[in-house]
Structure 1
Amino acid sequence: MVAAFLENAVGAIAQRAEERERLQRMIIRDVSVANAAARAVSYVRGAAERDSLTSYVQQRKTAVAPHSRTDSVAPLADVMRIVGGRRRSFLSHRIGNATWKVNFAKSAAKKLRDASPSIIFSMPGSSLETFAANRESHKVFHAIDAHPRTRNDRLYSVFGENARGETYPQRFVERIERELALADTVLVPEAP
């Protein structure tokens, strides 16, 4: 399992695979650098900030119940994700979101280079290199959003140019489309 995001569905799937002794390896984003930076900043900013950031760091630590073969990769990816999310500009989502996912994907692909997993489970924007390098594996793409072109079109139709900060750049849309083309199975969200 290659998980750029440690969301509930990923945790549930990993837990179920672990219970059935099917989870060979879990590759997650290394959060140690970002956590250390949060702790350091909290001491400079004071007690209230420290309590808030300490709570944040603790939540992140408990969000993952590491498998014995969990590998953390791309420590700068999480820093890019957090810094990009805190800088409120149209560039933060459009460039930062793509940058950290690509950084993570390249690191995950290197980690799996010689592993030959039977199934690879991965997410949008962070699957391309792993899927391409493991063509014999069954590749599961966990589509957490609508198709990126549809997502962009819908955001623009509702919010006009104000949507720009939440849309994916064309290059990233094409990347996700290449990931979808390589996937053997695509999991999609269901509308209620």
Structure 2
Amino acid sequence: MRALRDGYASRPAHRVERVSHLAEVVLRAGLRLPCPGLALRASYLSKILFDRAAASVDLAEARVVLGFPGACLALFRAHPGARRVFHAVDAHPRAHNRELLRHFSRRRSWDERYPARLVRRIEKELRLADVVLTPSAIVSAQMARYGVDRAKIVEIPYGVSLEGFTPEGPAVERHLERPRLVCAAHVSRRKGIPQLLDAVRGLPVDLVLAGGVFDRRILRGAPSNVIVAGPLSADELAREFRAADAFVLPTLEDACSLVVAEAAASGLPVITTDANGASALLGALPGTVLPAGDVEALKEALGRVPLLDRTTRRAVAEAARSAATSITDWSAYAERVLDVVLAEEGAPCGRDRAGEATRRTRS
């Protein structure tokens, strides 16, 4: 939705319909549930309700229908003659579940795993899709591994709005004598927060957790050098970045975490994992990519973070905006997506920054 909002904002809508009040009610009610697992399942139900309502809208002349995971099965079935585009904003559900079970028990990972019924639903959507749009090589590989026809997979890295994410400007107050780390992510197992809390325990650093708390149980017994900032606006996050010495995101499964690019544009070296699709955005930027779930490697990397001087901060920020990286903006992303979804079957999939064909994955 962020891509549609930011990338297509300049394009006037031909028609806009509010299709399901009930789906929104279910989603908002689910957010109030005390059990994280039940709240997540309410969001899955809201997707099904939205899908059914969207499928009932008269779109007889539609050339393209675009849907999101778990929310487009009825829509795709209702429009067999249109070009059906599955926007894979998340990992393949089986890959998502596999990674959670690799690092946590079935009981501890239940709240965040996809239910079997939702897995089957998404796989049906993938079979019906003519195009599977992915944001990273990691997601493309997952799709192919779990049976998606490679000829349908089109990989276009997300755009990133770097406006406001600069090393210059106001910053929050901080302890000046030891490194300050920032992690901008939901406090959840999928984002590797339990491993991060273990890694910073006993280190002479401060860690700021910026993001919503999906499961408060994860924070029980958190070390004293952890600051839980909660959800932050873009401006507030930019101020946190300017006060930090490094950004860390030890995710266990992440399709493409755009905050990596925002942190780099703010001048921060990035520490993330090989399970983060956005790690490919780093290119030659200062940063460290670690094996997902390796607490000892994470602890060692965090313990080596130095205090960041202004010269280095500016150099990292400039490199993040240079043409040598994979970072693009939402407008360019939208144009590349439109090239793909409006292409005739068998035509080139689109253009990259230099005007060449957008890469399809191949065997």
Residue matched to 1:99: 45
Residue matched to 2:305: none
RMSD of the TM alignment (CA)?
A: 1.7
**Which consecutive segments of 4 or more residues in structure 1 shift more than 2 A?**
12-16
Q: Name the structure, 1 or 2, with higher relative contact order (CA <8 Å, separation 6+).
A: 1
Q: Which amino acid aligns with 2:4?
A: V
Residue matched to 2:84: 139
Residue matched to 1:33: none
Gaps of 5+ in 1: 1-6, 20-66
Q: Which amino acid aligns with 1:115?
A: A
Output the TM-score relative to the length of structure 2. Answer: 0.36
Residue matched to 1:130: 75
Q: Distance in 2 between matches of 1:145 and 1:82?
A: 21
SS at structure 1 position matched to 2:29? helix
SS at structure 1 position matched to 2:9? helix
Residue matched to 1:153: 98
Q: How many residues align?
A: 136
SS at structure 1 position matched to 2:91? coil
Q: Distance in 2 between matches of 1:15 and 1:186?
A: 23
Which structure shows the bigger proportion of residues in helix conformation? Answer: 1
- 1:11 shift after superposition: 1.8
1:75 correspondence with 2:21: yes
- 1:153 shift after superposition: 1.2
- 1:73 shift after superposition: 1.0
Residue matched to 1:10: 4
Gaps of 5+ in 2: 137-276, 281-363
**Is the CA contact 1:77–1:101 (under 8 Å) kept in the aligned structure 2?**
yes
SS at structure 2 position matched to 1:73? coil
- 1:98 shift after superposition: 1.9
Q: Distance in 1 between matches of 2:34 and 2:98?
A: 22
Q: Deviations over 1:67-109 (max 9, x none)?
A: 351001110111111211221322221x312211000000000
SS at structure 1 position matched to 2:125? helix
CA separation of 1:170 and 1:77: change in aligned 2, threshold 3 A:
same
1:12-31 to 2 correspondence within 5 Å? 12-15=6-9, 18=11
